[in-house]
Amino acid sequence: MKRLGKFVLALWVLMGLSLASAQNEDKQKATYGWQKEMVGNLNFTQNSFDNWVAGGEDSWSWQLDVNAKFVNDQKSYNWSNTGKLSFGKTKVGDDDSRKAADEIKLESVYTYKMAIYVNPFISATGQTQLTQGYNYTDTSKISISNFMDPAYFTQSVGLGYAPTESFKTRLGAAIKETKTSEYENLYGEGEELRVEYGVESVTDVNMKLNKLILYNTKLELFSNLQRLDEIDVNWDNVFSAKLAQYITVSLNIKLFYDKNISAKRQLKQTLAVGLSYTFI
């Protein structure tokens, strides 16, 4: 938990820097209506060896990421809808191909504008995966997850603070559901549907570190208000740089902690170079 606390502290420092920088920006005239964006990234890596005395195994990996945003911003309200799809596979030597990424996430937030910065909101999020997941051993593989098994849903209502477009945070009362059928002993503690009541905090920061590098981070915290070590953490960080019109480099660091799933924090890091295309 000490390491987890350091990660969260580092994020809040970055948020403060982002907010200070954003407040120095000139205010632009508001533009109302729908804003639509959909960006796809495809990364592929391959290695092949033939009589290579230094050793090595043939390998390949690929990953597809699609991020979409549909926002209807009006004078009296803002309705933001976002979606994320990630899927990828990797293969090393004679082993079968394995998943390297698998995530589906949808979020919808409706904000009623009452004040300049602080406004009431209602939100709903859902998260699952596309295909079956396995835990691999030396001799076998054990199925541990599948599509909508588990699936996570959260609904919350509260107040949001958005002084700039690059910094948004919200805090509210929340209900979190964890749904599973075949793996209830892993994710539902013997229940097909676990419902928790508590408080949720979600913070989004978008920073332009320099002319080339962008930093996007999203920190989601959920507490059932019982114990500090039972605060669920989902922290997604992406550093990206555009080298050419369709070529990007990205570093994704994702931290996940849910004591009901694992007593230890989970950490995933992906460095990728690939193609990027904006659909709309």
- Other Cβ atoms less than 10 A from the Cβ of 33: the count is 8
Of 6-15, 26-35, 192-201, 239-248, least confident by mean pLDDT is 6-15
**pLDDT, tens digit (0-9, with 9 covering 90-100), for 63-118:** 999 999 999 999 999 999 999 999 999 999 888 899 999 999 999 999 999 977 89
In DSSP terms, 149 is beta-bridged to 146
Cα–Cα distance, 89 to 136 (Å, whole number): 15
Percent of the chain at pLDDT exceeding 90: 61
Beta bridge partners of 34: 72
Does the pLDDT at position 244 exceed 70? yes
pLDDT in the model for residue 245: 85
**Domains of the chain by range and CATH?**
2-22+52-278 (2.40.160)
- In 3D, which of 89, 90, 72, 93 has the Cα closest to residue 81? 72
Q: Give the pLDDT confidence score for residue 3 in this predicted structure.
A: 56
Res 9: pLDDT: 57
Rounded distance, CA 123 to CA 69, Å? 15
Q: What is the pLDDT of residue 26?
A: 40
Average pLDDT over residues 168-190: 90
pLDDT in tens, 45-62: 898 988 888 888 999 999
